[in-house]
Amino acid sequence: MGVMTARLNEHPILSVQDGQLVEFTFDGEKMTGQAGEMLSTALIANGVRVFSRHRVGDAAQGIFCANGQCAQCTVIVNGLPVKSCITPLEAGMVVETLHHLPKLPEKRPHGSPTRPDELRCDVLVIGAGPSGIRAACELSELGFSVIIVDDKAQLGGKLVLQTHKFFGSVEDCFAGTRGHYIAHILQAELEKAPNVKVMLNSTVAAVYSDGKAAVFEENRRYTHVSFAGLIVASGARERSLVFPGNDLPGVYGAGAFQTLVNRDLVKPSQRVLIVGCGNVGLIAAYHALQAGINVAALVDIAPEVSGYKVHADKIRRMGVPIYLQHTVVCAEGDGQVERATIAPVDESGSPILCKAQTFAVDTVLVAVGLTPVDEFFLDAKEWGFVVMKTGDADEIAEASSAMLGGRIAGRRMAQLLGREVDVPSEWPEKQRILKSRPGRTFERERPELTQSFRPIFHCMQEIPCNPCTTVCRFDSIKLVGDTGTILDLPHFEGRCIGCGLCAAVCPGLAISLARRSEKPGYAEVVLPHEFQHSYSSGDRITICDIDGQVLGEGEVLKTQYFSKHQTQLVTVEVPVEWGTAAAGIRVQDAQETEPLSEPQFEYIPEDGIVCRCERITAGEIAAFARENRVQDLNQLKAIRVSMGACGGKTCSVLLPRILAQAGAARESLEPLTRRPVSVEIPLWAVGNLE
């Protein structure tokens, strides 16, 4: 029986519960997994990283998206190829590595073809994330019949993966509440909505010109849904990044990593390097640390962090360095990631290889942005349907704005279908604020400490956030600034009894409490902490300032756990001059961020894979484009670019830049023709055969 080597036994936020164990085999070896979990999760929990071998070079392939968008996790189950990340584990499964191309099954399906079920609704909503749920609820309240379809087993979309507290407005999007709890709140709202049919574990495969959508229902039946209006809330897919070794097992999308760690409670790695310093990359680093995974570094080619400053600050305080104006040179290893090399870039963005550093890591997380999944919207527009898109399918933004955007989409769809209903004038303005990019950064206040506690704010950047103003029982925290919105910064004036609620609710862990100690020359500081610990009175722990610089050691006086916010408050005694500077507790040892003594890499940038399905490199595409003067992306199909299982979902975003570097006029490139069916459906399922 396989040994369960990668299950999380504890987590500071999530409840760890054992599921029903079942046996299966992988390449003849007996293994165990939890019934109903995704097969890819069970394999990774058993230490399997290589899922298939590509026909080009017999290259090892591992999981990348964990979202059914690519095909790198394909394995053979009971003789048939399946995407393991969307295939639930069943007892007795015979699972094998896919070697090159799968074989056609020898047995034919039994029975005769039957026509698909025909369902009807006023509005079909594709995607049950925050925007889709809110749109469905709004339409239901207005009396419309709704069918909402999602390919996951649980409502909530990416909220299910988010264990951190959300920014935004408490009133409009549950700011201060953890994402996975918000998913439960929205699920409860949808369950109360009348006249809404929910289809989970089901995928909309196509939208056809006759006004019907094809749904692969529960991955078993082919069903038609007729609709008067269509709302596309299908979210976004992660962008890939071109560098040598980018398709090695162990190179994940950040969302795939969060799926494994936070949804499935599996520890897929020991030490990671993260590429991208937007909110997704910063949050992924935090999730990794909470799961007991070391983070060697975050890397971004930009000169500044593009995510929220409070996210970056807390990552630095935990002990993770951020390398700006750096790029990943390559990932290397024998069949899986064993090391990754980074280097600073010059003014043209080219790596300065003489300053390269190599880190011994087993995972590289790619968090370089998202691409809207809006193909169904484009198809529906082409056929002249009544259609809208919302959430990330419309514009990449935080889930906080997606919730309000879903309500707006629901109202506007009602208008398009002839209902006289208004969109409250304040909703679009609130959504605009919730979508705001990080704004101005101000100098931090350094107030004089007294014998009474007071909050110390370590947030100095304009971002949409107001939870701290809602929990103070004396209403002593106000937002002060010239915007007059939740973008303004918090300011304390009034009474504080040191209850700690403001520090416990803060999504950025950017509030501490401080006062002068009775011991001359010392201060008491209360710091928020969201990690497993065994601190007790008298312990000495490492204290950092807002930028992650070590101030020194402080003595633990006491700890307090706020169960509602699942946040620890650790009170430490420190020199009084640290009182307003102390911002967090060091979590990760410095040795975990040290590079190898000498860089180790073989650098051939043209070897970076662009088309993952067919393993076509940047060099091959550029050479073909120059030789054939490519101006139409469909010409690249001659070398099988975009001809693989994902249908160009991953590579299409990368191709214009590659062709521009080869001399093509980027603005005049003809786009790839979209496939009529967006996901693979077995022919037996289209005929509803047994």
Q: At 674, is the pLDDT very low, low, confident or very high (cuts 50, 70, 90)?
A: confident
Q: What is the pLDDT of residue 136?
A: 98
Residues in the chain: 690
Read off the pLDDT of each residue in 433-452 and give the average, rounded to a whole number: 94
Residue 106 or residue 264, greater confidence? 264
Q: What b-and-e string marks burial along 99-126, b requiring 16 or more CB atoms within 10 Å of the CB?
A: eeeeeeeeeeeeeeeeebeebebbbbbb
**The pLDDT of residue 688 is above 90:** no
Q: At 375, is the pLDDT very low, low, confident or very high (cuts 50, 70, 90)?
A: very high
15-19, 414-418, 545-549: least confidently modelled range: 15-19
Q: At 5, is the pLDDT very low, low, confident or very high (cuts 50, 70, 90)?
A: low
Q: What is the pLDDT of residue 118?
A: 96
The enclosing H or E element of 528 equals strand 522-529
Pairing of strands 294-300, 322-324: parallel
| Residue 471, φ and ψ in degrees, nearest 5 | -105, -15
Read off the pLDDT of each residue in 227-243 and give the average, rounded to a whole number: 94
Residue 65 CB contacts under 8 Å (≥ 6 apart), including other chains:
72, 85, 237, 238, 253, 255, 256
Read off the pLDDT of each residue in 306-328 and give the average, rounded to a whole number: 97
CA–CA dist 464, 443 (Å, integer): 18
**The pLDDT of residue 434 is above 80:** yes
**The pLDDT of residue 168 is above 60:** yes
Q: Which two tokens stand for residue 513?
A: 């409490």
pTM of the entire predicted model: 0.94
Domain 1-113's class?
alpha beta
Q: What is the pLDDT of residue 3?
A: 39
CA–CA dist 131, 128 (Å, integer): 7
Residue 165 CB contacts under 8 Å (≥ 6 apart), including other chains:
175, 176, 177, 178, 467, 505, 506, 507, 565
Q: At 238, is the pLDDT very low, low, confident or very high (cuts 50, 70, 90)?
A: confident
Q: Is 85 left (phi over 0), alpha (psi -120 to 50) or beta?
A: alpha
Q: How many CB atoms lie within 10 A of CB 589?
A: 11
Q: Per-residue pLDDT tens for 177-200?
A: 999 999 999 999 999 999 999 999
Q: What is the pLDDT of residue 690?
A: 61
Q: What is the pLDDT of residue 675?
A: 81
Q: At 415, is the pLDDT very low, low, confident or very high (cuts 50, 70, 90)?
A: very high
324-338, 350-364, 646-660: least confidently modelled range: 646-660
The residue extents of the domains of the chain are 1-113, 118-236+372-434, 454-593, 605-668
**The pLDDT of residue 461 is above 90:** yes
Pairing of strands 339-344, 357-359: antiparallel
Q: What is the pLDDT of residue 2?
A: 36
Residue percentage of the chain with pLDDT more than 90: 85
Read off the pLDDT of each residue in 659-663 and give the average, rounded to a whole number: 89
CA angle 489/492/494 to nearest 5° reads 150
The enclosing H or E element of 386 equals strand 386-389
Domain 118-236+372-434's class?
alpha beta
Q: Per-residue pLDDT tens for 580-634?
A: 999 999 999 999 999 999 999 988 888 999 999 999 999 999 999 999 999 999 9
Q: Are 672 and 200 in contact (CB under 8 A)?
A: no
Mean pLDDT of the chain: 94
